[in-house]
A = this chain, B = another copy of it.
Amino acid sequence: MESAIGVLVSQFKAYAGKDGSSDTLSRDEFQKLVKSELSNFVKNASDPAAIDQLMSSLDMDNDGELCFLEFWQLIGRLANKHGGFSQ
């Protein structure tokens, strides 16, 4: 379980480090990550409008960047759905 957590942290950092702040995902970095890494879990991963909408729903402080914990909420929702849990 710790190694799987480590993978998620490393992959977040790999995308977050592409431009600007290396600890947050810009919209462009977020789109690349979703398209490359989450294409089975996120519907319309290639649709820019869907990415915009998803990003707004996660960016709680509306700063145009996703910090790790904001991103974590997304993968929690995806994992919850993937696991077939209720809620």
Hey, which bits of chain A sit against chain B, CB under 8 A? 1-2, 4-9, 11-13, 23, 33, 37-38, 40-41, 67-69, 72-73, 75-76, 78-80, 82-83, 85-87
* Nearest Cβ on chain B to A32's Cβ, whole angstroms: 12
**Which of B7, B8, B69 meets A87, CB within 8 Å?**
B69
| A34 to B, closest residue via Cβ | B1
Q: Known: A1-B7, A37-B1. Is A80-B69 also a contact (CB below 8 A)?
A: yes
Main secondary structure of the interface of A (DSSP, over half): helix
- CB pair B67 A87 closer than 8 Å: yes
- CB pair B72 A68 closer than 8 Å: no
A-B contact list, 15 entries, CB within 8 Å: A1-B11, A2-B37, A2-B40, A5-B8, A8-B79, A9-B79, A9-B83, A13-B83, A23-B85, A67-B85, A68-B79, A68-B85, A69-B87, A72-B79, A73-B76
